[in-house]
Structure 1
Amino acid sequence: MSSPSDLQARLDEASAAYEEFASRGLKLDITRGKPSPEQLDLSAELLTAVSGDDVYTPSGVDTRNYGGIEGIIELREIFAPLLKVPTAQLLAGGNASLTFMAQALTFALLHGTAVDDRPWGRGPHKLLCPVPGYDRHFTLAESLGFELLSTPMDEQGPNVAEAQRLAEDPAVKGMWLVPMYSNPTGITITAERARELAAMPAASADFTLLWDNAYALHHLREDHPDNLDILSLCAEAGHPERAWIFASTSKVTHAGAGVSFFGAGPATVDWMISNLGKIAIGPDKINQLRHQRFFSDAAGVEAHMRKHAEIIAPKFDAVLRALEDGLGHDGLARWTRPEGGYFITLTTMEGIADRVVKLAAEAGVKLTPAGATHPYGLDPSNTVIRIAPTMPSLDEVELAAQGLVACVRLASFEKLMAG
């Protein structure tokens, strides 16, 4: 252990480095996982893919008119193999998968599910939330009245023993999951862990895996894991309706004008269509036709995503280099090294994540609030910080990472000096 004089010297050095960075007057933002303008430019041809009277799908559907609550079949055929969902069990909707999530959960609260028609909202209703996890999941569920139960994660996925223990309560209706490149850790659930979740006993007959494949296509490297066929795993385990799959092209094409997807077991798809048909007459089929023409086939989607990787992989590498160079020799923090997705998770010494975020804000680097990765915004150890390097330019990411390192070093030596 360093002597008090050594610690004071290192604190002085860290304070000077921080002050130097803060004096630059920068305004940098690595808070949310948005695509950069260069990524959005990759899909510019979408804007001219449909024009004039050229508005018919290959099967002859006039996309200008009402109907087609399932979405156009040609687009569903493109994404079905990518998402490991049979075409007949995949719906295509509007631009936000979050809307599909809200609709599905609301229908369950009001009407029950395809497995059990007793409305979830008639009694206590709870959801398991793997942590660190996705803040939008937590916010949505909390807004609908669910009690959120934190469930620990390891490098293979959620802790199944703890999830099973919590699911002995019949009020526990499901579990949030980001199976591929989890937000924010980048963890990909293993096939064995997914199989355990598919077969896991639960007191609620309609216990549901809310399987958000938000990053299923977002690989940073050529070698990458394959998307899991969770529907088959659930069917093999005797729970064919357990998984509700969500995905979208929000980080594939234009974030504000993409297409969302919902996949599930056959009975749940019928349930979803029946409920959707009461609140909508059909999605934006013109936009779906744009996407179908732009991609042509599944291989077109994969080729497009390789272009995304060429833009964002260097930004991830820049952050990881800065963390290794600035923190790797002192053991002041640890971080994930994701192979895909949109985030890096930084874990600080206990009790200082909020201090790091505050220091960064004062130095011109906006970070996601400490605690956002946990239900109710409360990280009990106050250690987790989510880093989102995709939207800024590479130069800005490099600067933001340098600033973040300076903040972590200052907050860490402050804590060590305080004993």
Structure 2
Amino acid sequence: MTTELSPDALSGLLDRARQDYEALVGRGLSLDLTRGKPAPEQLDLSGELLALPGTRFSAADGTDVRNYGGLHGLPELREIFAEVLQVPVAQLLAAGNSSLELMHDCLVHALLSVVPGAESRWVEQERIAFLCPVPGYDRHFALCERFGIDMIPVPMTPEGPDMDAVERLVAEDPSVKGIWCVPKYSNPDGVSYSDATVARLAAMPTAAPDFRIFWDNAYAVHHLTDEPVEIADLLGACADAGHPDRAFVFGSTSKITAAGAGVAFFGSSPANVTWLLANNAKRSIGPDKINQLRHVLFLKDADGVRAHMEGQRALLQPKFEAVARILDAELGGTGLATWTSPRGGYFVTLQVPDGCAKEVVRRAAEAGIVLTPAGATHPYGDDPRDAVIRIAPSYPGLAELEQAIEGLAVCVRLVGYEQRAR
């Protein structure tokens, strides 16, 4: 990342960066790039949901969606998303609006009840650990912290997690019970797992007989190009490799329709589905089937999902293009940063010189540009290199986003040249 500069050239660049930063602070901006949530225009694409289901309250099988029951979720909705999430309909559950809630519940149930293949409840074991590909999703890490699960960072590669490290760790340590995976357009790098990575995850020997892959397929249909990425079927690969219970598959409509009123999904082996249903029956008499019926009537089928996501792409793609264009114009050739160019998903990862990320985020906040805290992409909020910054382009309007990225680039130049001048 380093570009050699003479002392005079560096001094001039630092003076210019300081002047640009003073001007930036003087603009009195108030911009927020902290979270990858849909913009109002994206939510408007699903406005018709609010008028559904009208006077219809019967599912395809005659179920009265206004009443109790139906822990599996509506069959017709599960049929739509079985293809999207690569899970057989009979092994897919449709639940409430949050896949994070399902992940939380799976951890709680594993701690308090014996998962298929386990010798005891996780809470009875001396230590529980999860592998955490980094950079990764802060809410996954927060769940582990909440329940006292140790986190072991594993580097990400262009094909997914470093599988040599993963295979070694799961083979030698029975306390390693799981791994967090965002397999398509991962948060925050945008990496999609290769077929070879999926095959190795499915087949690898594990010291823990109850090892689970938490497969958070949050961006399954969130493409940003004309060439959608397709990933291998993990659930099928696990079954073929003789580990049918290994995968917990999660997904939702949260970034497809209404983020606060979507539908979440869980898919796994028949044994795992039975296990989750038995535990969930003690906390719920059934999901919001009216909302599920809304989604059936609105989306209609898997092709309807893909058509709807083209509307989402039309709104998101210009924002991601703007981020790339501005970063290239402001930071290209400086040696101060590299950044990802994702083919889908919701984030761009910006890498700055080691030891600079926290200071860049602090300077940006002082200038009125709020970013996700540096370190959030790593377990315990600790990026050992202090180099990764997550950019969430989705929510701001295009003009606001451009101002924010231009301002962020100013902060990168200021902090980067200050470090070089020391």
TM over 0.5: yes
Instruction: Work out whether 1:149 is the aligned partner of 2:152.
Output: yes
Q: How does 1:3-402 map to 2 (within 5 A)?
A: 3-52=6-55, 54-123=56-125, 124-167=127-170, 168-402=172-406
Offset at 1:26? 1.0
Write out per-residue CA displacement over residues 341-371 of structure 1, whole angstroms, 9 at most, x where no aligned residue: 0000000001000000001001111100000
Structure 1 Cα separation of the partners of residues 144 and 250 of structure 2:
15
One-letter identity of the residue aligned with 2:341: R
Structure 2 Cα separation of the partners of residues 228 and 343 of structure 1:
22
**Partner SS state of residue 329, structure 2:** helix
One-letter identity of the residue aligned with 1:78: I
One-letter identity of the residue aligned with 1:198: A
Offset at 1:12? 0.3
Structure 1 Cα separation of the partners of residues 204 and 21 of structure 2:
49
Offset at 1:324? 0.6
Offset at 1:410? 0.4
- Please report the RMSD computed on the Cα atoms of aligned residues, expressed in angstroms: 0.8
Number of corresponding residues: 417
One-letter identity of the residue aligned with 2:49: L
Structure 2 Cα separation of the partners of residues 171 and 358 of structure 1:
38
Q: Where in structure 2 are there 5+ consecutive unaligned residues?
A: none
**Partner SS state of residue 214, structure 2:** strand
Task: Show structure 1 runs of 4+ deviating over 2 A.
Answer: none
Structure 2 Cα separation of the partners of residues 234 and 336 of structure 1:
30
Structure 2 Cα separation of the partners of residues 160 and 214 of structure 1:
21
Contact 1:84 1:227 survives alignment (8 Å): no
Structure 1 Cα separation of the partners of residues 273 and 190 of structure 2:
29
Contact 1:83 1:227 survives alignment (8 Å): no
**Partner SS state of residue 267, structure 2:** strand
Structure 2 Cα separation of the partners of residues 99 and 253 of structure 1:
18
One-letter identity of the residue aligned with 1:224: P
Offset at 1:234? 0.8
Write out per-residue CA displacement over residues 178-219 of structure 1, whole angstroms, 9 at most, x where no aligned residue: 000000000000011111111111100011110000111110
Structure 2 Cα separation of the partners of residues 140 and 256 of structure 1:
20
**Partner SS state of residue 377, structure 2:** coil
Offset at 1:122? 0.8
Offset at 1:116? 1.7
**Partner SS state of residue 323, structure 1:** helix
Task: Give aligned-pair identity as a percent.
Answer: 53
Contact 1:343 1:389 survives alignment (8 Å): yes
Offset at 1:117? 4.8
Offset at 1:227? 3.8
Structure 2 Cα separation of the partners of residues 163 and 251 of structure 1:
30
Offset at 1:385? 0.2
Structure 1 Cα separation of the partners of residues 119 and 206 of structure 2:
17
One-letter identity of the residue aligned with 1:40: L
Contact 2:222 2:309 survives alignment (8 Å): yes
Structure 2 Cα separation of the partners of residues 260 and 366 of structure 1:
29
Contact 1:216 1:227 survives alignment (8 Å): no
Offset at 1:228? 2.6
Instruction: Work out whether 1:414 is the aligned partner of 2:415.
Output: no
Structure 2 Cα separation of the partners of residues 233 and 154 of structure 1:
21
One-letter identity of the residue aligned with 1:31: T
Write out per-residue CA displacement over residues 255-283 of structure 1, whole angstroms, 9 at most, x where no aligned residue: 11000000001111111111111211100
Structure 2 Cα separation of the partners of residues 43 and 347 of structure 1:
35
Offset at 1:394? 0.5
Contact 2:192 2:231 survives alignment (8 Å): no
